[in-house]
């Protein structure tokens, strides 16, 4: 059977993951849900995030997706176990790429930028225990950063200032690898690479999640048709579809490496 993949996030962040999956499998059918009516997840309670995640995944299961990718660190942290209990299809989650950041660091000092929800969550604490006992880890909550990205603001004075302030002390401490612990921040890679000193590693998890998705689909017996023509990622917003389109337009204008996509308009 041919695979069809559902991906969700609170907004445009998970499109960094959709782009990576599309790069691996351009003809794969991908349906993307931006839960913009409930954005941002980062400041919501774990209970609210579980409730939203279940509602969104239920919709993707109803649309007969073969697997779902939770392209959101905050939702994975709060809801991944619950989603796997609730649904029988494979669910791929994600976590901040702390391990690869530690591996790439020469000083052993690394920073993780994430939403307040992810920074508070047990998943990151467990990750630190497992993979970073010998490293010095700065976990930095960024309460408003995803909001700027969700508005399409991925360059300019405000984002630069926010990132410079957050990273000033870690850099002074010798941090030489930054893990992007929120999928929205993937769109900030150009600005980060510009403001950070040369030689710093900026690590995101999108490609690792794409590889994991391939593995999970093949393991479940699905075919990943490599021969068909490239497909657009079909995007849905639970909030305003026009606002999602505007943000995507701003990302595109800023040079973001988006997959080919179209935003579905609700039938009025």
Angle at which helix 73-86 crosses helix 122-131, to 10 degrees, equals: 100
CA-based nearest residue to 15, from 150, 120, 128 = 150
Per DSSP, the three-state class of 191 is helix
Q: How far is the CB of 2 from ligand DGL (least distance, A)?
A: 28
Per DSSP, the three-state class of 255 is coil
Quick check: 39 binds ligand DGL (CB under 6 A)? yes
Between CA 13 and CA 65 the distance in angstroms is 20
Between CA 266 and CA 196 the distance in angstroms is 42
Query: Between 72 and 243, whose beta carbon lies closer to ligand DGL?
Result: 72
Query: Between 132 and 180, whose beta carbon lies closer to ligand DGL?
Result: 180
Q: How far is the CB of 177 from ligand DGL (least distance, A)?
A: 19
Quick check: 73 binds ligand DGL (CB under 6 A)? yes
Residues 103-122 that bind ligand DGL (CB under 6 A): 115, 118
Number of residues that bind ligand DGL (CB under 6 A): 16
Residues 209-248 that bind ligand DGL (CB under 6 A): none
Across the chain, how many H-helices and E-strands are there? 11, 10
Find the binder of ligand DGL among 5, 6, 8, 10 (CB under 6 A).
Answer: 10
Find the binder of ligand DGL among 6, 15, 25, 42 (CB under 6 A).
Answer: 42
Q: Which of 135, 182, 233, 251 is catalytic?
A: 182
Query: Between 42 and 90, whose beta carbon lies closer to ligand DGL?
Result: 42
- Report the DSSP beta bridge partners of residue 69: 7, 92
Give the ranges where the chain is alpha helix by DSSP (H). Answer: 15-24, 46-62, 73-86, 98-104, 116-120, 122-131, 145-150, 157-172, 189-195, 206-219, 241-253
Query: Between 9 and 176, whose beta carbon lies closer to ligand DGL?
Result: 9
Q: Which residue is nearest to ligand DGL (CB)?
A: 42
Find the binder of ligand DGL among 5, 7, 9, 50 (CB under 6 A).
Answer: 9
Q: Is residue 235 flagged as an active site residue?
A: no
Query: Between 40 and 170, whose beta carbon lies closer to ligand DGL?
Result: 40
Residues 131-190 that bind ligand DGL (CB under 6 A): 146, 182-184
Q: Which two tokens stand for residue 137?
A: 């880890």
Quick check: 96 binds ligand DGL (CB under 6 A)? no
Eight-state DSSP code of residue 184: G
Q: Is residue 182 flagged as an active site residue?
A: yes
Q: Which two tokens stand for residue 198?
A: 């040369």
Q: How far is the CB of 79 from ligand DGL (least distance, A)?
A: 12
CA-based nearest residue to 115, from 40, 36, 33 = 40
From the CB of residue 209, how many other CB atoms can be counted at a distance below 10 Å?
26
- Residues designated catalytic: 72, 182
- Residues forming contacts to ligand DGL in the complex (CB under 6 A) are 9-10, 13, 39-42, 72-74, 115, 118, 146, 182-184
């Amino acid at each position: 059977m041919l695979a069809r993949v559902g991906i969700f996030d609170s907004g445009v962040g998970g499109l960094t993951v959709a782009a990576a999956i599309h790069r691996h499998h351009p003809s794969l059918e991908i349906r993307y849900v931006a839960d913009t009516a409930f954005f941002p997840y980062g400041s919501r309670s774990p209970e609210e995030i579980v409730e939203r995640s279940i509602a969104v995944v239920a919709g993707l299961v109803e649309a007969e997706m073969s697997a779902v990718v939770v392209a959101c660190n905050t939702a994975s942290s709060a809801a991944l176990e619950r989603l796997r209990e609730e649904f029988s299809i494979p669910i791929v989650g994600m976590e901040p790429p702390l391990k690869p950041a530690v591996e790439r660091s020469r000083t052993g000092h690394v920073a993780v930028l994430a939403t307040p929800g992810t920074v508070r969550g047990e998943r990151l604490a467990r990750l630190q225990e497992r993979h970073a006992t010998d490293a010095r880890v700065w976990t930095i909550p960024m309460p408003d950063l995803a909001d700027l990205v969700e508005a399409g603001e991925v360059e300019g004075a405000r984002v630069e200032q926010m990132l410079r302030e957050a990273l000033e002390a870690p850099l002074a401490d010798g941090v030489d690898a930054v893990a992007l612990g929120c999928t929205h921040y993937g769109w900030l890679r150009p600005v980060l690479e510009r403001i950070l000193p040369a030689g710093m590693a900026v690590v995101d998890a999108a490609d690792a999640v794409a590889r994991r998705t391939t593995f999970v689909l093949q393991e479940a017996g699905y075919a990943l048709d490599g021969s068909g023509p490239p497909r657009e990622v079909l995007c849905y917003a639970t909030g305003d579809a026009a606002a999602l389109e505007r943000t995507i337009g701003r990302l595109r204008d800023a040079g973001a490496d988006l997959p080919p996509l179209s935003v579905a308009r609700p039938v009025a």
